């Protein structure tokens, strides 16, 4: 038994080793040269680039620039500069690779990229959010030097309604295969007849035959998460293939007692497909597999593996706050961890295809993804957006997106567009069905939606019949009547809410909802461009968090929602404009610090006991202050001020919070939640004194010495007793020694114009953030924060 197991493992690894010699996927991010601005003949290898800056990808040059309202992106686009940038990389390909095929894969270049290899133009891709591949083989010097040149043109702006970033901002890969190999995105895995007892895993494989004539065999083995083969091995002999033809084979593997993929237990299998010529493995390709089934029911809403649940999702843009658009897996993972801890289980990739790493993480961490293609079709939203390219490129871009993303178990909805201006024009009757047909030609296992901001009867996207789920953006007052309007149709809230908040800023009174700008008593102007964090400010088209969630909870047929937004993002600083340069919509601020409403969701969406009270307790004596509590797992909450009870309150009806109006006096506010008379949680807020010290805490003290890993260091300004000083805005300087550097800094303030790429930050409502990035060297990293009048604080990290 033992021996044969070992033998199997040995065989598996030897096959792998062999296959690695045929397909090799190299991280191609290192050792690039960059020049900001046009350079004549930069595509020609002979042109010197020695004076250009050296850098590693992913790279976003916009985030390195200066904020200005005069930048063509406008504050809506993040107020950072665009421009033209050139990237070049010299590299060698071993002579032994001759006879193989070599490709370069770009996960995303913003935007209008042109790529040359050794002076040959490979192509142009206008869409800055799409992944694409070029074949290099015919132009390479095998055994010699090669130069790849990429021109990125983000000079003509605005071209996105949010911050796009500029440059090769996602990963790049160099892929080498044998002449006969599985195509790019060449597998398609679906799961059918899924139950706890059994499941079928169907695998379609597309192979390109490069040999003169070959009888090839394609076989796929399914491995569980521990690497144990659980199904497959069955070989599918193909007929003799003609040279340079593509052929498809498919097979179905039966899996007994499968572990199903769910948001709570995102279990992944791995399908390893081999192409053999005779007994020789000439290609090997791995596809992650999640076995699950889901359904959108007309009346009962969404279910996963037969279990009814709601999609509790958020919309997010692709930027990573102060890191800009440059993709970093750890930064994405941190965002998802913060959202997961809130109880969130869904992500909408608004309004474009995401970085592939986001989908990998959603597969691994258990999020349901609505994968969106476009923010506009043929009509413009902003002057230079994708409408200029839609006619020529939509088919290619949409096909590439579906081919790339259709194996992710997390992806459960395709969206063919957000708030498409043509939704009330008859042209939508042509375009929507065409887009749906493109998606369905590549995947029929997921429903298609479109996010409609006017989901009324005149909406031509809906009336075209092209979408499977009717997507509502906002209009939550009309949810209840959905089936009267659209009998027999299924519902999804593609975008909701748009609540506005600044972390740590509070205005009294808190118990009336304020609509920006119409019903606001004064123009929307507050010192420092702040918005009160009581979840009571909304734009005219949106609603507060509580308003939406109350409706969503009520009806089963409301299958799910995607809140605008999980995180604050660069650009779209509604309800302000300049000097604000980033958004107020996030449940979490740009630095990753939760706003209070985060805990409303946590109290509703998780079983974890929650008691969150706010605001801070530093006011002018005598002021009437509204104290809110979000709680769960308890019958009631009692509030005390300086030991004196202010009364016990409980949520009634559809309440999501309770409130006390308290005459302020300094001291200690204490909240106690109780169930059946027993204390569940106690929370204290003390009046803070003067800033006395800095506290540093790292989300991870141990990081990988891989040049990419990050440690997020939270900086708190505390008084002598350890309370966060709620209005502290001390300027803090950072110093670092050891094999790491400060990648960026932030504090969550949408108005700060200091660069993110410096080593100092003012605290904002007592907090700041420094993001430390590993170098490729192991060792201890000492991070020190200093601020005038306060003792220095130090934290030690370890890069391994
Ligand atoms: C929606 C739009 C989003 C964002 C949001 C702000 O209408 O789809 O992209 O602009 O409004 O509230």
Same domain as 65, residue 161: yes
| HEC per residue, 604-650 | HHCCCCCEEEECCCCCCCCCEEEEEEEECCCCEEEEEECCEEEEEEC
The answer to whether position 297 is within a domain reads no
- Rounded CA-CA distance 232/121 in Å is 43
Among 130, 157, 177, which residue terminates a domain? 177
Question: Degrees (nearest 5) of the Cα angle 755, 759, 760?
Answer: 80
Please give the distance, rounded to the nearest whole angstrom, from the Cα atom of residue 394 to the centre of ligand 1.
Answer: 22
- Rounded CA-CA distance 366/339 in Å is 11
| Domain span at 630 | 611-686
- Rounded CA-CA distance 141/144 in Å is 5
Phi and psi torsions of 736, nearest 5°:
-140, 140
Would the pLDDT of 26 be above 50? yes
76 pocket-lining for ligand 1 (C-beta < 6 Å): no
Least confident of 230-234, 328-332, 706-710: 230-234
The phi-psi region of residue 78 (left if phi > 0; otherwise alpha if psi is between -120 and 50; otherwise beta) is left
Same domain as 159, residue 58: yes
Q: H helices then E strands: how many in the chain? A: 9, 46
375 pocket-lining for ligand 1 (C-beta < 6 Å): no
Instruction: Please name which of 79, 263, 89, 88 lies closest in space to residue 163, comparing C-alpha atoms.
Output: 79
418 pocket-lining for ligand 1 (C-beta < 6 Å): yes
Q: Which of 545, 572, 580, 583 to mutate to test the pocket of ligand 1 (most atoms within 8 A of CB)?
A: 572
pLDDT in tens, 671-710: 999 999 999 999 999 999 999 999 999 999 999 999 999 9
- Rounded CA-CA distance 93/28 in Å is 12
Instruction: Name the band, by pLDDT with cuts 50, 70 and 90, for residue 245.
Output: confident
Checking DSSP bridges between strand 346-348 and strand 311-315, what pairing results, if any? Answer: parallel
Looking from the CA of residue 351, the nearest atom of ligand 1 is: 9
Please give the distance, rounded to the nearest whole angstrom, from the Cα atom of residue 725 to the centre of ligand 1.
Answer: 34
Site of tokens 């605005």: 158
415 pocket-lining for ligand 1 (C-beta < 6 Å): no
Please give the distance, rounded to the nearest whole angstrom, from the Cα atom of residue 374 to the centre of ligand 1.
Answer: 13
Looking from the CA of residue 542, the nearest atom of ligand 1 is: 12
453 pocket-lining for ligand 1 (C-beta < 6 Å): yes
Phi and psi torsions of 129, nearest 5°:
-110, 5
Site of tokens 């350890």: 722
* Amino acid 491: pLDDT: 98
Q: Which of 352, 419, 501, 587 to mutate to test the pocket of ligand 1 (most atoms within 8 A of CB)?
A: 419
The answer to whether position 298 is within a domain reads no
Q: How many CB atoms lie within 10 A of CB 785?
A: 24
Please give the distance, rounded to the nearest whole angstrom, from the Cα atom of residue 473 to the centre of ligand 1.
Answer: 9
Site of tokens 């006011």: 619
Burial of 754 from C-beta contacts in 10 A (0-12 / 13-18 / 19+): middle
- Rounded CA-CA distance 279/276 in Å is 6
Among 263, 289, 315, which residue terminates a domain? 289
- Rounded CA-CA distance 28/124 in Å is 20
- Rounded CA-CA distance 470/428 in Å is 15
Selected catalytic residue, list 284, 357, 378, 495: 495
Same domain as 279, residue 382: no
Instruction: Name the band, by pLDDT with cuts 50, 70 and 90, for residue 16.
Output: very low
564 pocket-lining for ligand 1 (C-beta < 6 Å): yes
| HEC per residue, 326-378 | CCCHHHHHHHHHHHHHHCCCEEECCCCCCCHHHHHHHHHHCCEEEEECCCCCC
Whose alpha carbon is nearest atom 6 of ligand 1? 498
- What tokens does 710 get? 């990050």
- Rounded CA-CA distance 279/575 in Å is 66
Whose alpha carbon is nearest atom 3 of ligand 1? 564
Q: Which of 455, 564, 569, 577 to mutate to test the pocket of ligand 1 (most atoms within 8 A of CB)?
A: 564
Mean pLDDT for the chain? 95
Same domain as 365, residue 343: yes
Please give the distance, rounded to the nearest whole angstrom, from the Cα atom of residue 418 to the centre of ligand 1.
Answer: 9
Catalytic annotation on 495? yes
Instruction: Please name which of 685, 683, 587, 668 lies closest in space to residue 634, comparing C-alpha atoms.
Output: 683
419 pocket-lining for ligand 1 (C-beta < 6 Å): yes
- Rounded CA-CA distance 509/581 in Å is 27
Residue spans of beta strands (DSSP E) within 63-119: 83-92, 101-106, 113-117
- Rounded CA-CA distance 374/386 in Å is 8
The answer to whether position 584 is within a domain reads no
Please give the distance, rounded to the nearest whole angstrom, from the Cα atom of residue 114 to the centre of ligand 1.
Answer: 31
495 pocket-lining for ligand 1 (C-beta < 6 Å): yes
Catalytic annotation on 501? no
Instruction: Name the band, by pLDDT with cuts 50, 70 and 90, for residue 19.
Output: very low
- Rounded CA-CA distance 320/590 in Å is 8
Please give the distance, rounded to the nearest whole angstrom, from the Cα atom of residue 539 to the centre of ligand 1.
Answer: 10
**Range 778-799 average pLDDT:** 98
Whose alpha carbon is nearest atom 2 of ligand 1? 419
Selected catalytic residue, list 419, 501, 546, 572: 419
Q: How many CB atoms lie within 10 A of CB 88?
A: 21
542 pocket-lining for ligand 1 (C-beta < 6 Å): yes
Same domain as 395, residue 276: no
* Amino acid 21: pLDDT: 57
CATH of the domain at 655: 2.60.40.10
Residues 6 or more apart whose CB falls under 8 angstroms from that of 265 comprise 259, 366
- Rounded CA-CA distance 778/798 in Å is 8
CATH of the domain at 342: 3.20.20.80
**Range 183-208 average pLDDT:** 97
Under a CB-based contact definition with an 8 Å cutoff, are residues 712 and 703 in contact? no
Half-sphere exposure of 36 (CA within 13 A, CB side): 14
603 pocket-lining for ligand 1 (C-beta < 6 Å): no
- Rounded CA-CA distance 148/119 in Å is 8
Same domain as 165, residue 123: yes
Residue spans of beta strands (DSSP E) within 193-244: 198-209, 213-223, 229-242
Element spanning 779, H or E: strand 779-787
Checking DSSP bridges between strand 740-746 and strand 767-774, what pairing results, if any? Answer: antiparallel
Under a CB-based contact definition with an 8 Å cutoff, are residues 102 and 26 in contact? no
DSSP state letter for 676: T
Please give the distance, rounded to the nearest whole angstrom, from the Cα atom of residue 406 to the centre of ligand 1.
Answer: 26
* Angle between the N-to-C axes of helices 329-342 and 597-605, in degrees from 0 to 180, rounded to the nearest 10: 70
The answer to whether position 369 is within a domain reads yes
Dihedral through CA 87, CA 93, CA 99, CA 104, nearest 10?
Answer: -30
Same domain as 157, residue 224: no
Instruction: Please name which of 478, 407, 52, 458 lies closest in space to residue 202, comparing C-alpha atoms.
Output: 407
47 three-class SS? coil
Q: Which of 161, 163, 417, 495 to mutate to test the pocket of ligand 1 (most atoms within 8 A of CB)?
A: 495
Residues 6 or more apart whose CB falls under 8 angstroms from that of 82 comprise 62, 71, 72, 73, 154, 155, 156, 157, 166
245 or 445: which leads in pLDDT = 445
> Above pLDDT 90, what percent of the chain?
91
473 pocket-lining for ligand 1 (C-beta < 6 Å): yes
- Rounded CA-CA distance 770/711 in Å is 8
536 pocket-lining for ligand 1 (C-beta < 6 Å): no
- Rounded CA-CA distance 570/573 in Å is 8
pLDDT in tens, 146-179: 999 999 999 999 999 999 999 999 999 999 999 9
The answer to whether position 296 is within a domain reads no
Site of tokens 């800055």: 128
Under a CB-based contact definition with an 8 Å cutoff, are residues 548 and 290 in contact? no
Under a CB-based contact definition with an 8 Å cutoff, are residues 739 and 705 in contact? yes
Distance, first Cα to last Cα, the chain: 38
Please give the distance, rounded to the nearest whole angstrom, from the Cα atom of residue 304 to the centre of ligand 1.
Answer: 28
Same domain as 146, residue 35: yes
Please give the distance, rounded to the nearest whole angstrom, from the Cα atom of residue 551 to the centre of ligand 1.
Answer: 20
**CA torsion through residues 700, 705, 709, 710, sign:** positive
pLDDT in tens, 567-617: 999 999 999 999 999 999 999 999 999 999 999 999 999 999 999 999 999
Please give the distance, rounded to the nearest whole angstrom, from the Cα atom of residue 441 to the centre of ligand 1.
Answer: 30
Question: Degrees (nearest 5) of the Cα angle 760, 761, 762?
Answer: 140
Instruction: Name the band, by pLDDT with cuts 50, 70 and 90, for residue 520.
Output: low
Instruction: Please name which of 713, 703, 795 lies closest in space to residue 747, comparing C-alpha atoms.
Output: 713
Instruction: Name the band, by pLDDT with cuts 50, 70 and 90, for residue 20.
Output: very low
* Amino acid 242: pLDDT: 73
* Residue 745, beta-bridge partner list: 770
Looking from the CA of residue 418, the nearest atom of ligand 1 is: 8
* Amino acid 6: pLDDT: 39
Please give the distance, rounded to the nearest whole angstrom, from the Cα atom of residue 246 to the centre of ligand 1.
Answer: 42
Same domain as 88, residue 157: yes
539 pocket-lining for ligand 1 (C-beta < 6 Å): yes
Q: What is the pTM of this model?
A: 0.96
Under a CB-based contact definition with an 8 Å cutoff, are residues 539 and 516 in contact? yes
* Amino acid 211: pLDDT: 78
The answer to whether position 581 is within a domain reads no
506 pocket-lining for ligand 1 (C-beta < 6 Å): no
pLDDT in tens, 644-655: 999 999 999 999
- What tokens does 400 get? 């590439």
72 pocket-lining for ligand 1 (C-beta < 6 Å): no
Whose alpha carbon is nearest atom 4 of ligand 1? 564
498 pocket-lining for ligand 1 (C-beta < 6 Å): yes
Same domain as 395, residue 320: yes
Q: Which of 74, 498, 516, 517 to mutate to test the pocket of ligand 1 (most atoms within 8 A of CB)?
A: 498
* Amino acid 238: pLDDT: 66
- Rounded CA-CA distance 83/61 in Å is 9
Among 142, 177, 212, which residue terminates a domain? 177
- Rounded CA-CA distance 453/442 in Å is 27
- Rounded CA-CA distance 607/505 in Å is 28
The answer to whether position 523 is within a domain reads no
Instruction: Name the band, by pLDDT with cuts 50, 70 and 90, for residue 194.
Output: very high
Please give the distance, rounded to the nearest whole angstrom, from the Cα atom of residue 474 to the centre of ligand 1.
Answer: 9
Please give the distance, rounded to the nearest whole angstrom, from the Cα atom of residue 573 to the centre of ligand 1.
Answer: 11
CATH of the domain at 123: 2.60.120.260
The answer to whether position 533 is within a domain reads no
583 pocket-lining for ligand 1 (C-beta < 6 Å): no
Same domain as 284, residue 311: no
* Amino acid 239: pLDDT: 67
**Range 473-495 average pLDDT:** 97
Q: In the chain, how many domains are there?
A: 5
Same domain as 483, residue 458: yes
């Amino acid at each position: 038994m033992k021996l044969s197991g070992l033998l199997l493992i040995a065989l598996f690894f030897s096959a792998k080793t062999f296959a690695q010699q045929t397909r090799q996927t190299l991280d191609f991010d290192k050792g690039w040269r960059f020049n900001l601005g046009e350079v004549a003949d930069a595509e020609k290898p002979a042109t010197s680039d020695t004076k250009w800056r050296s850098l590693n990808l992913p790279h976003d040059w916009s985030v390195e620039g200066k904020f200005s309202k005069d930048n063509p992106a406008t504050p809506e686009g993040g107020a950072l500069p665009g421009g033209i940038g050139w990237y070049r990389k010299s590299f060698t390909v071993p002579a032994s690779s001759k006879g193989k095929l070599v490709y370069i894969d770009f996960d995303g270049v913003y935007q209008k990229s042109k790529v040359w290899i050794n002076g040959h133009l490979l192509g142009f891709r206008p869409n800055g959010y799409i992944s694409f591949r070029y074949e290099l083989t015919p132009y390479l010097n095998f055994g010699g030097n090669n130069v790849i040149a990429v021109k990125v043109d983000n000079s003509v702006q605005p071209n996105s309604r949010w911050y796009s970033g500029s440059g090769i901002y996602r990963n790049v890969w160099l892929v080498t295969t044998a002449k006969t190999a599985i195509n790019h995105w060449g597998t398609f895995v679906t799961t059918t007849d899924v139950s706890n007892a059994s499941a079928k895993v169907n695998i379609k494989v597309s192979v390109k035959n490069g040999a003169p004539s070959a009888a090839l065999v394609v076989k796929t083995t399914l491995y569980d998460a521990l690497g144990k083969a659980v199904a497959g091995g069955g070989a599918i002999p193909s007929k003799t293939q003609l040279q340079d033809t593509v052929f498809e084979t498919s097979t179905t593997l039966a899996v007994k007692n499968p572990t199903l993929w769910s948001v709570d237990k995102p279990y992944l299998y791995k399908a390893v497909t081999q192409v053999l010529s005779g007994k020789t493995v000439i290609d090997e390709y791995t596809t992650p597999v999640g076995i699950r089934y889901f359904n959108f029911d007309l009346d009962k809403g969404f279910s996963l593996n037969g279990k009814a649940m709601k999609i509790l999702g958020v919309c997010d843009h692709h930027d990573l706050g102060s890191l800009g658009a440059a993709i970093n897996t750890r930064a994405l993972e941190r965002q998802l961890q913060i959202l997961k801890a809130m109880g969130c289980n869904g992500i909408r990739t608004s309004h474009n295809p995401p970085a592939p790493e986001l989908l990998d993480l959603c597969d691994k961490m258990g999020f349901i993804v609505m994968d969106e293609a476009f923010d506009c079709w043929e009509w413009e939203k902003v002057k230079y957006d994708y409408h200029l390219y839609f006619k020529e490129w939509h088919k290619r871009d949409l096909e590439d997106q579906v081919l790339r993303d259709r194996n992710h178990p997390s992806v459960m909805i395709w969206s063919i567009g957000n708030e498409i201006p043509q939704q009330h024009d008859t042209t939508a009757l042509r375009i929507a069905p065409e887009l749906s047909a493109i998606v369905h030609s590549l995947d029929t296992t997921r429903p298609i939606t479109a996010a409609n901001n006017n989901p009324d009867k005149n909406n031509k996207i809906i009336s075209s019949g092209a979408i499977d789920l009717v997507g509502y953006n906002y209009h939550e007052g009309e949810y209840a009547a959905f089936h009267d309007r659209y009998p027999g149709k299924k519902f999804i809230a593609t975008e909701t809410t748009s609540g506005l908040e600044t972390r740590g800023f509070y205005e009294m009174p808190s118990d009336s909802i304020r609509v920006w700008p119409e019903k606001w008593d004064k123009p929307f102007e507050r010192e420092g461009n702040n918005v009160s964090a009581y979840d009571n400010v909304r734009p005219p088209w949106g609603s507060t968090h509580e308003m939406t969630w109350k409706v969503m909870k009520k009806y089963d047929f409301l299958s799910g929602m995607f809140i605008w937004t999980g995180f604050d993002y660069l650009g779209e600083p509604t309800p302000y404009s300049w000097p604000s340069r980033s958004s107020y919509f996030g449940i979490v601020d740009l630095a990753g610090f939760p706003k209070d409403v985060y805990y409303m969701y946590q109290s509703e969406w998780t079983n974890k006991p929650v008691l969150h009270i706010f605001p801070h307790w530093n006011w002018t004596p005598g002021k009437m202050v509204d104290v809110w509590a979000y709680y769960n797992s308890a019958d009631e909450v009692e509030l005390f001020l300086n030991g004196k009870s202010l009364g016990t309150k409980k949520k009634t009806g559809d309440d999501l919070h309770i409130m006390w109006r308290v005459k302020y006096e300094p001291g200690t506010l204490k909240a106690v939640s109780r169930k059946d008379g027993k204390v569940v949680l106690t929370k204290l807020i003390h009046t803070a004194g003067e800033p006395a010290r800095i506290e540093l805490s790292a989300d991870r003290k141990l990081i990988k010495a891989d040049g990419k890993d990050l440690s997020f260091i939270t900086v708190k300004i505390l008084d002598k007793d350890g309370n966060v000083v709620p209005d502290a805005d001390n300027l803090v300087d950072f110093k670092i020694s050891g094999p790491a550097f400060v990648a960026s800094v932030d504090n969550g303030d949408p108005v700060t114009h200091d660069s993110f790429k410096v080593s100092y930050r003012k605290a904002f409502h007592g907090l700041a953030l420094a993001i430390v990035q590993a170098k490729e060297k192991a060792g201890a990293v000492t991070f020190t924060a200093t601020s005038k009048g306060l003792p220095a604080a130090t934290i030690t990290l370890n890069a391994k």
